[in-house]
Each structure stands twice: as C-alpha cells, then as structure tokens.
C-alpha cells in the first residue's frame, strides 16, 4: 500500500486551482484510515497542533499548502494580497515550535509571495500553490534518496529498532528513518523492525506498526521500557530514527525517549543512525541546547485517548522531544549521504 500522508488535490484540468489539501487524519489510525480535506487555515493550524498531521517534513508541507489554500478565496490584490499571505504564514508558524521544517517552508512561501507581488491575483495564487506542491515533491525525492543512502548501512536479515514514526506518514511519502527499510524490501532483502510504542501518544504502536504491516514488513511492537531487554538479548542490530531538528554540531532532537534509546544502544554496542532531509538541519543553532522543546498538555499523559490513567490534579511534565548529543550518534543520513563524527564540517558543506 502506498501511503500519501498529504497531497494537493486540484479540481481543475488546466491548473492547480481551485484545489484543496488532503491529509490523513493520523489521530484516527489504526482503527480508521480517514482523510481531512480542507482549504481552511484554522483547520490546518489545528491539524498541525493536534497531530492530525505530524512529522517534521509533513507539517512543513501542510503549512505551505495551508498558506496557498487560504488565499484562494481572497478578493485582495497587490500589496494587500501579499500581506494576507504573510499573515497566514505567521499564524501557521505558531502551531508548533520544534520542527525547523515548518519555519523553513513558511519562509519559502513568504519569499515566493514577495517575489510574485506584482502578478495578477490569479497568477499570484497559482504561483503559491505550485510552490507548496514543489516543497512536497522535493521532500518525496529527498526521502527516496535517504532510503538509498541508508540502505548501505543494512545487511540482509538484520533487525532495526525505531522510535516514534518516521515513515511515510511523517513525510510526503516513503519516509526518512523507515526509508531504508522500504528500499531494502524493494531490493528483495529481509529486514525486521522492532517498533517502540512511543508514549504517551503511541505513534510507534498506532502509526509505525500500522504502516509497516500495510507494506508487508516484519514488525514487532514493544513497550518503550522493553528496548533495553531486546538489546541485551541480541535482537537489535541497529537503531534508526528520524529527527525534527539537527543543530550545527550534530545534536539532534527527536520524539521524547530517543535520547534514552541512544544511551541504551551505546551501552550495548549498537549503532544509532538519525535519518532526515537536510531541511531538518538548522545551522543557526550551534548545539542542541538551543533547540526549542515543545511541551504538550498534561491531558495527553493523564487522560490519553479519552480514559483517565492518572489521579485528577497530579502534576505532569510532558516534553514532546528530547535532544540526543552528537556523541551518541553513529551517523546522520540525509539525501546527500551519510555524515560521521565530527559532524560539523559535513553539515556545513551540505548546507552551503
């Protein structure tokens, strides 16, 4: 099954307008594969905030398409239309703070809007739609390249541990951390996956396990606190995870719990690979200490999925991400290849 987490659906045979965003509502998986179709910027903001669309590349694409979609009904022109585009972009930038892809995509949309301000309104709007679709298509190409580079790290019959979801659902298609798994399958290799459940919202259980099963890949779901045991038992050959932001020195933010997995892997002599497109690299941040970490609501921990599992009024600390220091990362894999410690020089070269 080919999973497309997000796409632009054109209602015209001649161009891309009118059109709308179609995204999988990931909060309804695995019970139901449901789609959210919209041109409403408020719905796009809510979808990003509430993880209906999630994964660093996917939320950048959703935001870019959100700007373009919201402008379709505008009656403004010239500078007023440009101001609307910038206002929509600034609004969507408030949805989530950690993934740099979101901000890069929105800045790209604003830049194109400024360069296109002299166009007639219809051409201006069409130009922004095409830019948003280009961001999506470029991400798809990058993820396939990540898969081919990551494939070089895997041998037939090996087992990969992954944390959270960095597959097709987290990007435009194919995946980042799971891209080498799909590439291995395409090359006729046998690769097994152990997927951490990923508390508190169970992205590993609900999403990674679901999409790997859809693809016919051998996947075993484990509780987060089982990772150390399966490593000790020799069942894991490598760890592959995605990233929401990579600092200039190679420190990498990913879903909460990744840092612990990386420390466990080091203790058991298991390599740890972070796989992400270069849009995830933020050279403006010297280290992971500068990465803003989103904190989620207490209810996601105490009353997840509608059932109370903790006492009313208990204090909760719920960071959505943690940062794995570069010293615990064996390699960073992007569409440009694999970088090994020390990461700084290669990352600088990639981002020129």
Q: Which domains does the chain have, with CATH numbers?
A: 6-143 (1.20.120.420), 146-350 (3.40.50.10470)
pLDDT in tens, 76-127: 999 999 999 999 999 999 999 999 999 999 999 999 999 999 999 999 999 9
Q: Is the pLDDT of residue 1 over 70?
A: no
Q: Could you tell me the pLDDT band of residue 14, with boundaries at 50, 70 and 90?
A: confident
Residue 244 a catalytic site member: yes
pLDDT of residue 130: 97
3-state secondary structure of 125: helix
pTM: 0.95
pLDDT in tens, 279-338: 999 999 999 999 999 999 999 999 989 899 999 999 999 999 999 999 999 999 999 999
Residue environment code for 272-288, b if the CB has 16+ CB neighbours within 10 A, otherwise e: bbbbbbbbbbbbebeeb
Q: Is the pLDDT of residue 212 over 80?
A: yes
Mean pLDDT across the chain, nearest whole number? 97
Angle, alpha carbons 297-170-58 (nearest 5°)? 85
Q: Which of 244, 251, 282, 322 is labelled catalytic?
A: 244
CA separation, residue 209 to residues 197, 259, 283 (Å): 9, 21, 33
pLDDT in tens, 116-164: 999 999 999 999 999 999 999 999 999 999 999 999 999 999 999 999 9
309 with 302: CB under 8 angstroms?
yes
Instruction: Please name the residues in contact with 179: beta carbons below 8 A apart, sequence gap of 6 or more.
Output: 143, 144, 146, 147, 150, 275
């Amino acid at each position: 099954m080919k999973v497309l987490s997000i796409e632009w659906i054109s209602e015209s045979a001649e161009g891309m307008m009118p059109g709308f965003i179609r995204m999988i509502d990931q909060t309804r998986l695995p019970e139901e594969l449901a789609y959210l179709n919209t041109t409403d910027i408020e719905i796009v903001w809510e979808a990003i905030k509430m993880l209906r669309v999630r994964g660093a590349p996917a939320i950048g694409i959703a935001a870019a398409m959100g700007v373009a979609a919201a402008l379709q009904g505008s009656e403004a022109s010239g500078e007023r239309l440009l101001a609307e585009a910038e206002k929509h972009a600034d609004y969507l930038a408030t949805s989530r703070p950690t993934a740099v892809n979101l901000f890069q995509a929105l800045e790209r949309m604003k830049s194109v809007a400024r360069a296109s301000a002299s166009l007639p309104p219809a051409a201006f709007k069409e130009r922004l739609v095409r830019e948003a679709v280009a961001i999506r298509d470029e991400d798809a190409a990058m993820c396939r390249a990540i898969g081919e580079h990551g494939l070089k790290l895997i041998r037939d019959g090996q087992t990969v541990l992954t944390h959270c979801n960095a597959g097709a659902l987290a990007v435009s298609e194919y995946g980042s951390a799971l891209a080498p798994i799909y590439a291995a399958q395409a090359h006729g290799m046998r690769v097994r996956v152990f997927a951490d459940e990923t508390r508190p919202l169970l992205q590993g259980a609900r999403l990674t396990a679901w999409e790997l099963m859809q693809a016919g890949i051998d996947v075993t779901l484990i509780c987060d606190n089982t990772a150390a045991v399966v490593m000790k038992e020799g069942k894991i050959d490598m760890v592959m995870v995605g990233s929401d932001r990579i600092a200039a020195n190679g420190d990498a933010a990913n879903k909460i719990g990744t840092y612990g997995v990386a420390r466990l892997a080091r203790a058991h002599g298991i390599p740890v690979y972070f796989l992400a497109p270069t849009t995830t690299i933020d050279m403006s941040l010297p280290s992971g200490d500068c990465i803003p970490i989103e904190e989620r609501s207490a209810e996601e921990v105490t009353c997840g999925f509608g059932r109370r599992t903790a006492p009313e009024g208990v204090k909760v600390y719920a960071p959505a991400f943690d940062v794995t220091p570069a010293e615990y990362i064996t390699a960073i894999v992007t569409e440009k290849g694999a970088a090994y410690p020390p990461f700084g020089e290669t990352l600088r070269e990639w981002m020129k």
